[in-house]
Amino acid sequence: MMGAETGALLEARQVIVRFGGLEAVGGLDMAVARGAIHGLIGPNGAGKTTVLNVLTGFIRPTAGRLVFDGEEIGGLNVNGFARRGLARTFQNIRLFGAMTVLESVLVGAHQRFSASAPALIFGARTARAAERAMIARAHELLAFVGLGRDVADRVATTLSYGHQRRVEIARALMSSPKLLLLDEPLAGMNALEKQEIADLVRQVRAQGITVLLIEHDMQIVRSLCDHLTVLEYGKLLADGEPEQVLADPAVQAAYLGRAR
C-alpha cells in the first residue's frame, strides 16, 4: 500500500517505543509524502516528540521499520540519519554555546567539508575554496531565514528567542536536507512571528525540501500543512488532509476533552 509507488519520502511501519513498562508509541504507521508539509499533532503527552526522535535516530524504536528515500534506516545512529538527509531543530533550542551565528550555521554543513589535516594546516587552495563557498552559502541561508548580516558574528545564544529559532532552521538547512523536521517551531512566538515562520516553512518547501513539523496552533496547522497525522497516547488517531482530519469527531474529542 505504502512505499515507493506512493512517493513517500519517509515511512514508519509498526513503530513501537517502550520506556520500561510504558509504551510511548504503540505500533505507529505513518508516511511523509515527498514535497509535503506534514503536520504531526496531538494533545500534550501524545508522543509527538518521541516520534520525531525516532524519525531522527535519537531514540531507537523497540520494534518497527523506518524507510527513508527507499532505504532501510532503522539501524543507523543519529549521524547516519543526518548523513542521509534528515535535519532537525529542537523543541528547546539547542544552539552551540560560545559559537557565533555564522559558525553555528557552518556546523550544519559539516558533511560538505573533506580537507585533510595537512591541507588545512598548509592552507590548501581547495580547503580555502570550500570554506569560502560554505560561508557564502551560510550568509545566503541566514538571509533566507530573515536574519541580517549584522547578526552573523554575534554569539548565537545571545540572540532573541525568535532569532535563535531562525538560526537553528538555517543550521538545519545548511546540510541541504531532503527532509526538515521542526519540533514546535512556533512555540512562544506572537501571531506576527508565527506567520513569518509559517511563510518561511512554505519557502523551504518551495525549494524542494519536505517538511515535517510538530505544532499546537490549529489555525496555522490548518493553513500550512497538506497532511496531518494525529497521535493520542502514542497511537495513530487520524491521518489525512487537514480539513478532514480536524473535522473528525475523535480528533476534536481528543483536543477538547471527551466530557463534551
Partner 1 sequence: MDYFGQLLANGLVLGAIYALTAVAFTLVYGVVRLVNFAFGELFMLGAFLTTSLMLPEVRLFGTVVPMPGFPLPIAALGAIVITGVIGVVVDRIAYRPLRNAPRLAPLITSIAVSVVLQSLAQTIWGAEELRFPQFYLATLEPVVLFDSIYLSVMDLVVMATAVVAMLGLSLFIARSSLGRAMRASAEDQTAAMLVGIPVNRVVAAAFAIGSGFAALAGLLYAQTYGFAHSSMGFLPGLKALTAAVLGGIGSVPGAALGGLILGLVEALGAGYLPNGTAWKDAISFVLLVGLLYMRPQGLLGRPELNSAGRGSLLGGASAAGAGWLQAIFARGDALLARGAAAGTPAAFGLLAVAVIVGLMVPSDYWLRILTMVVIYGMLASGLNVIVGFAGLLDLGFVAFWAVGSYLTSILFVLVLKDGYGVAPQEVWWLLYLNLPLAGLLAAGFAVLLGTPTLKLRGDYLAIMTLGFGEIVRVVAINWMDLTNGPMGIRGIPAPNLFGIALGSPRAQFFFALALAVVVVFAVARLVRSYVGRAWVAIREDEEAAEAMGVPTARYKLYAYATSGFVGGFVGVFYAHSQQYISPLNFSLFENILLLMLVVLGGLGTFLGPFVGALIWIVFLQLALDLPFVQAYPETRFALLGVVLIVLMVFRPQGLAASARVGLTMPGARAKEAA
Q: Which three cell numbers stand for residue 128?
A: 580555502
Pick the piece of the chain touching partner 1 (CB under 8 A) from 1-9, 60-68, 114-122, 225-233: 114-122
Q: Does 188 contact partner 1 by CB under 8 A? A: no
Listed ranges 27-35, 171-179, 233-241, 252-260: which one lies at the site for partner 1 (CB under 8 A): 171-179
Which of 2, 107, 187, 236 contacts partner 1 by CB under 8 A? 107
Query: If binding is defined by CB under 8 A, does position 58 make contact with partner 1?
Result: yes
What x/- string results for residues 8 through 47 when contact with partner 1 is judged by CB under 8 A? ----------------------------------------
Chosen residue from 13, 18, 60, 83 binding partner 1 by CB under 8 A: 83
Q: Is 218 near partner 1 (CB under 8 A)?
A: no
C-alpha cell recorded at residue 92: 528547546
Binding of partner 1 by 110 (CB under 8 A): yes
Q: Read out DSSP for the chain?
A: --SGGGTEEEEEEEEEEEETTEEEEEEEEEEEETT-EEEEE-STTSSHHHHHHHHTTSS--SEEEEEETTEE-TT--HHHHHHTTEEE--SS--PPTT-BHHHHHHHTTGGG----HHHHHTT-HHHHHHHHHHHHHHHHHHHHTT--GGGTTSBGGGS-HHHHHHHHHHHHHTT--SEEEEESTTTT--HHHHHHHHHHHHHHHHTT-EEEEE---HHHHHHH-SEEEEEETTEEEEEE-HHHHHH-HHHHHHHH-TT-
Q: Which stretch binds partner 1 (CB under 8 A): 3-11, 33-41, 59-67, 92-100?
A: 92-100
* Beta carbon of residue 182, minimum distance to partner 1 (angstroms, whole number): 13
> Is residue 185 a contact point for partner 1 (CB under 8 A)?
no
Shortest distance (Å) from residue 104 CB to partner 1? 8
Question: Under the rule (CB under 8 A), what is the footprint of partner 1?
Answer: 56-58, 77-79, 81-83, 87-88, 90, 94-100, 102-103, 106-111, 113, 115, 117, 120-123, 127-128, 131-132, 134-136, 139, 171-172, 175
